[in-house]
Structure 1
Amino acid sequence: MNADTLHQAIAAARDGRRDDARALLLHLLEADPRNERAWLWLSGVVDDPEDVKICLENVLALNPSNPRARQGLEWLHARMGLPLPPLPPPDQTGSRLEREIDTRALSVARLRAYRTTLAVVEPVAPLPPKPDPISAPVPSTPQSRSVATRANPAPAPPASAPAAATARTAVAPLSTAPAHRLAAVAPVDDATIPCPYCGAPTVETQRRCTQCGGNLLVRVAPSDERSPIVQALVWMWRGGAVVVLLIALVFPVMGVLLYQEAPANGFPIGILIPAVILALVALIGFSVAQQLAQRAAWALYLAAGLTTVGLIGALALAMRPDTLTAMLDRLTGATSIPSAWLPPLMAGARLIAIGAGVAHLAAIALTIAGYDAIVGRLERFRHILKPSDHLTHYNNGVALKNRGMWYVAALEWEWAVKKAPYDVTYLRALGLAYARLKQFDKARSMIDRALQAAPDNPGLREDRALIERLASQEQR
C-alpha cells in the first residue's frame, strides 16, 4: 500500500500536481515516518523553506550518505544566505543508522504543510485501486506529533537521540527570512537534473527552471546520418527547378510561333522576360537544393519562404488563368495572340497551377518534417563533465558562462581548481561563479585563496568587496 501511494505521489509531482503529491506524501509519512524516499520527494513539493529544511534533515537522519539531500540542503542554505550547519558524516558501512534514530522524532506534525493539508481533512475510506488516486480524498491517520530532527552527527547510542532533538530546536528558524516558493529545491530522484543556470533541481519534463526561469531546452546538432525526408526534399527542389526551366523554354518557343504568324511585326522581345525570370528561379532552386543537401539552416528558411510565395502564386493562377493571357498581350506588344490559342493556354495554365500547388504543399510538409534533421531538435540540456586537463575545464566553464549557465560553469571550474589549486584566474572565476549562485561563503573562500597567491592584485580586492555587497543585498 505504501509503495503504491509513493508511486502515485511521484507521478503527481512529475505531472506538476504539487498539492496532490504533497497530500499523498504527508499521508504516507504519517504511516511510515522512516520512508527516506518519501521525505526526499516531499522536500520538492512543499513551499515553505523551513518545511524543505526539515524534510532534507530527516533524509540525512535516515541516511547520512544521501548525496541528493546534502546537495539540496547546501543549495537551500546558499539560497537563503545562511551558513550551512554541520551535517551528519556520510556512513561508510552502507547501513542506515537505524539504531540512532528515534522514530517518534520523524513526524510530519512540525511541517506547516501538514497543518494546512492533512490536519484539516476529515478521515475517509482508503483509496480504491482503480479510480484516479490523485483526485480522490486522502485519509489521515493519527500518529505521534514530535519534532522532526536530524541524526546525531557522530555515532552514538540510542539515548543520544533526545539530545539531538534539543540541539535541533536551538537552530534559528528559516521563517525569519522571506518565505520564497521553493519548488523542487532538493534533487528528488534519479530522474532529476540540476538547472544549468542556478543549480536548482528540475525534472525531465520541465522546459524552464521554476527558480531562475532559464530555458532548459537546447538545440542539438543534427545527426550525420542521411535523413530520407531531407533527401526527398532535396530531390523535390531539384525536380521543381527542372520543371521551371522547362516552362521557361515555352516562352521563347511561343515567341517564334508568333513571329511566324506575323513576321511583319518582328520578333516579340517582351515575351522573353518571363523566360529570364523563370530561369533565375530555376537557378535559385538548384542552389537551394544543393545547400539543403549540405544541411544549411538558412537554406531551409529560404526554401520555406520561396515555397510559401510559390504556393500563393499557384493558387492565384489556378483561380484566374486569364491573367496569363493578359500579361502575354502586354509583353507581345503589336503582335497579338491568336484567339485560337487562348483556350488551350488557359487550360494549360490552370493545369500547371494546380500541379504546382500540390507540389508546393508537399514541399511545405517535407520542410516541416525535415526541420529537426537540418536545424537540430530541441532536447533537455544535460551537462556531462568529463575529467580533462585544467585548461580544458577552464575553457569549458568560460563557454558555459557565456551562455549564462553559471552552475555548470562552476562545476567545470571546480575541476580546474582541483588540478591547478594555485591558479589565480581559476580561483577568481570560481569565486565569482559562487557569488552569482549566491553561495557567498564559498565565493569568499575562493577569492581569499586567490589573494593569498596574489596579495597585490587590485582586481581581487574589488571582487571581494563586490561579494560583500551582493551578500549584504541578499540578506535584505
Structure 2
Amino acid sequence: MTLSDAMAAARAGRREEARALLMRVLETDERNAQAWLWLSGVVDDPEEMRVCLDNVLHLEPSNPHALKGIAILDQKYGRPQAREVGQPADAPAAPAEAAAPATPAPAAEVAAPAAEVATPAAPPSEPMAAPAVADVEVARPAPAAPVAGDAAPCPCCGAMMPLKLRRCTQCSRPMLLHTPPNPEEGSRSLTLLAFLWVLPVIIAFVFVIFLWGPIMNSRVDLLLDGASRIIVLIILSVISLPAILIARGLFLRRRWAFIVAVILLGLNTLGFLQRVVEFVIMVAQSDDIQMLTSSTMIMVLMLVVLVISFLWISFQGFLLYRGYPKVFGSKVRFVHTVGAGTAAEHYNTGIALKEQGMWYAAMQEWEAAAYGDAANVQYLHALGLAYAQVKQRAKAISTLEHAITLAPNDQRLRETYQMVQTLA
C-alpha cells in the first residue's frame, strides 16, 4: 500500500480505509509531510487535525494547504483557549470539545469534496468494549527545576541540550525566548552614552560664558557687540537642542533615540573611513623624500586625529552594543518550570505552549493538569497526544488506554489510540 492508494481512498470518500492506509505510510516514514496532510483530512477530531497540520508545518513551514487547514479550523471552531505563558489566569475553564471538525484536505488535489465539513461518526448504540488494562495512576509531575548543571530539556522535544545552544540539535527548533526590557532597570552604558552626547554642548556653553567673563571681555568687545553675543548664544542653543534631545532619549532608553544614535554613528564611521583613505593616498603620493620630511609633522597630527576618532567611534559602538538589550530586550534560553495552579490553569498553559510548538513543555503542564484531575478525559487525551509527539509512545498508549476506560464511547479517543498504536 502506498500514499497514492490512501489518496485514492480519501477522494472516493472511504475515510476509514484512507486513515488506515495513511497510518501504515507514517509507520514507515514519520517525516512524510503529504501523509500527515492527508491524514488531517480523514480524522474527525479537531485536536488530531491540529496535530497532523502542526507536523506538516514542522516539516514544511510554508505549506499552503496546512496553513489553510489551520485557518479553517480557527475560523469554524476558534483557536484553543489559551493564555500567555507565565501569566496567571483567573480560574479559566477548560475549552469545550468541538462537535464537528473541519476537513482541511488539500483543496488543490481533492476532486469535488462532498462537503466542506465532515460528518462525525455516530456513537454506537451500545458501549464499545474498552481495552483490558489495569487502572493507570497518573504520575505526579516533576518538580519545577528542570535545569541539570549546564543543560536543560528542549521545550519542544525534551532532549537535554546545553544552555549555551540557541537551537535544538534533535528537532532543529529554536530554544530562545524574547524577553522585553525591564522598565525599572537602568543602563550604565546608555547613561554614559547620553553624557557623551551632551558633553560637547556643556563645553560649548562653558566656553561662551568664559568669553563673556571679565578676563576676555575687553578682547571680545573688539569682535562682538552685545546683540551679536545674544545671536551667537541663540544659534548655539538651536544647534545643541537635537543633541540634548538625543541624550535625554538615550537616558530614558527610548528606541527612537537609540536608532538615531546608531544612524549618526554609522555616518560618522563612513566619514572616518573617508579620512583614512585620504591619509593613505597622501602618504602614497609623497614619494619625494624632501616633501615627505617637510610634511612629517602634518602627517603625525593627522594620524593622531585618526587614532582618536577610531577610539571615539569604537567606544560609542561598544556602549550601543551593551545598551541594546536594555532598549529592545534580549533573547534568552527558555527553560520551562511548572508552577502552582489549578488543573484548568495547567491545561490552558499547556495549550499556549503547544501553540508555540513547545510540546515537551506542554506535556509537563498537562501532566500537572491530569494529576490535579485524574478523571478528566480531555486532560488525559491531550497528555496522550503530547507523549506521542515527544516520542514517548509507551506512556502515550497507557495514558490513552486509561482515558478510554473512563470514556469507552469516545470515538475521538479511540482514533487517537489507534493512530498512536500504529506509529508505536
Using the size of structure 2 for normalisation, the TM-score is 0.41
TM (norm. structure 1) is 0.37
Higher-RCO chain (CA-CA 8 Å, sequence separation at least 6): 2
